[in-house]
Amino acid sequence: MGTAHQASQDDGVTVRLACQGDELAWEALVRAYQTPVFRLAYLLLGGADEAEDVTQETFIRAYRSLERFDTTRPLRPWLFKIASNLASNQRRSIGRQLAALRRLFQPERSSIEFPVEVQGEQRQQAEELWRAVRALRVADQQIIYLRYFLGLSVEEIADAMGLIQGTVKSRLHRALERLRNVIDKDFPALRDWNDGRTNV
Amino acid sequence: MDERTFEILETRLRDTARHFPYPATPDFSRVEAIRRVARRQGRPRVQWRITWVAASILIILLLAVMATPTVRAAVLEFIQIGVVRIFQTAPTPLPESPVTATPLPAVTGTPSPTYTPRPIPVDVISILDLQGRTTLEEARVKVGFPIRLPSYPSDLGSPDQVILQDHDGSVLILVWTLPDSQDKARLSLHTIEPGSWTIEKVKPRFLQETTVNGRTAIWAVGPYIVRLLNGDLDIRRLIEGNVLIWTEHGITYRLETDLPLAEAVRIAESLK
């Protein structure tokens, strides 16, 4: 919390400089947040090209709205909110439908390949868990990505999703319950792992 | 789902996330579109904001200033009130008046765009020389507007002379003469119908904005030259009195008197 607060204060200064036309400050902000934003877009959309488009648009829109940004708040959830909205639009767009058609002729994206250093059963289970997450509805996926893949606090998720923290906690809980149900139903290999009988 | 299962699931998700094979993140800070938005909207946005604020203030000031006839006159070179146009500087060189006790200063200025300079002598005429004498009753029949008379001062009575001129628009001149002189006006009231006449006053000595019944009015202190324009017809007269000019319901009123402004306004507001 203290670190996040410090980051928020630092961002506030940089944001104000960027608002005043300091291009270097703006570049610094982009560099600081481009990876988490790109990763969120990638998780939500499943394609590097689409994620790149959304990330680029996220920063363009963010800059245009930068003056309205509350510099007492952390920047990352605000960027995630923009990116999530853009990704949601992208999913509904014709381009996205065409991209989905293209993927029919390409390898299944949910069978993503984990790095070689993740060995054997651990690797297989990670891939299975990933597939299980992908089987959830988008809203559940989003909250899981924000919390466990991108490491946001409940407070930051509340900021990013425009919810109160209590709602975030309950949604998170329900998302995990549904994930557990998916695992029980479709990923039997993970059941034992999930029971703690296999360690990653 | 019990707490332990919940915790295990969270741990597994975090482990999976830690090894997740994300594509390499492009360096968006070098992407031209993102850099351009900062260049185009960064400094310019601040400058634009300043520019907008400055422009807004300027427009507000300009509107406020231009709403003041005297200032508008300085900017536009003339004030237009009803059919009367008052020039602060002479639109054309005008000859010295042969009769005025207070000679007008030599005047030069930018020629009016609608006027072709011609050497025309100033025509000073007495009330008796005015054409179009009639009676109040006849005038009421002829003019297309209600004839209003001052009810102040209470002893003013009916006008001593009624003159009706028509040049594509009626000009009714009501004159109250001095008791001891039938050719000298104590008070005169022009009621001018919208028409082709334009009355120009050139360089009154003093000009003041006032109101008559809440409407903007101009108080011009002579002597000054009045120029009546109707197409090629150009008549000039030297006026020595003070004039209050205002408009009501499209009619231009011009009250000429040697009384002070407050009295003139009181007379003007007494029209019935």
- Inspect the interface and report whether the beta carbons of A30 and B28 lie closer than 8 Å: yes
Please state the rounded mean pLDDT for residues B230-234. Answer: 55
Q: Does residue B94 carry a pLDDT above 80?
A: no
- pLDDT digit string (tens) for B80-91? 666 666 665 554
Q: Does residue B117 carry a pLDDT above 50?
A: no
Please state the rounded mean pLDDT for residues B39-66. Answer: 67
- Inspect the interface and report whether the beta carbons of A56 and B33 lie closer than 8 Å: yes
How close is the nearest chain B Cα to the Cα of A169, in Å?
A: 13
Q: Which residues of B touch A23 (CB under 8 A)?
A: 35, 38-39, 42
What is the average pLDDT value for chain A, to the nearest integer? Answer: 82
- Reading the block at residue B178, the tokens are 């001095």
Binned at pLDDT 50, 70 and 90, residue A193 comes out as low
How close is the nearest chain B Cα to the Cα of A37, in Å?
A: 9
Which chain B residue has its CA at the smallest distance from A131's CA? B16
Measure the CA angle with vertex A35, ends B15 and A86; round to 5°: 105
Which chain B residue has its CA at the smallest distance from A40's CA? B22
Strands B198-202 and B84-87 come out as parallel
- Decide: helix, strand or coil at residue B22: coil
Using CA atoms, how far apart are residues A183 and A179, in angstroms rounded to an integer? 6
Please state the rounded mean pLDDT for residues A40-51. Answer: 91
How close is the nearest chain B Cα to the Cα of A138, in Å?
A: 16
* pLDDT value, residue A40: 95
What is the average pLDDT value for chain B, to the nearest integer? Answer: 71
How close is the nearest chain B Cα to the Cα of A178, in Å?
A: 10
Interface test with B, best of A31, A42, A53, A59 (most B CBs within 10 A): A59
- Inspect the interface and report whether the beta carbons of B29 and A48 lie closer than 8 Å: no
- Inspect the interface and report whether the beta carbons of B29 and A35 lie closer than 8 Å: no
Please state the rounded mean pLDDT for residues A133-148. Answer: 93
C-alpha dist (Å) from residue B232 to A17, A93, A174, A186, B111: 67, 71, 91, 100, 16
- Decide: helix, strand or coil at residue B175: strand
In the A/B pair of chains, how many CB contacts fall below 8 A?
Answer: 120
* pLDDT value, residue B233: 55
Q: Which residues of B touch A26 (CB under 8 A)?
A: 38, 42
- Inspect the interface and report whether the beta carbons of A30 and B13 lie closer than 8 Å: no
- Please state the pTM of the whole predicted model: 0.49
- pLDDT digit string (tens) for A54-69? 999 999 999 888 888 8
- pLDDT digit string (tens) for A69-106? 888 888 999 999 999 999 988 877 755 566 666 655 55
* pLDDT value, residue B102: 35
- Inspect the interface and report whether the beta carbons of A180 and B21 lie closer than 8 Å: no
Q: Which residue has the tokens 């939500």?
A: A44
Using CA atoms, how far apart are residues B270 and B12, in angstroms rounded to an integer? 95
Question: Per DSSP, what are the bridge partners of residue B165?
Answer: B171
| ipTM entry | 0.82
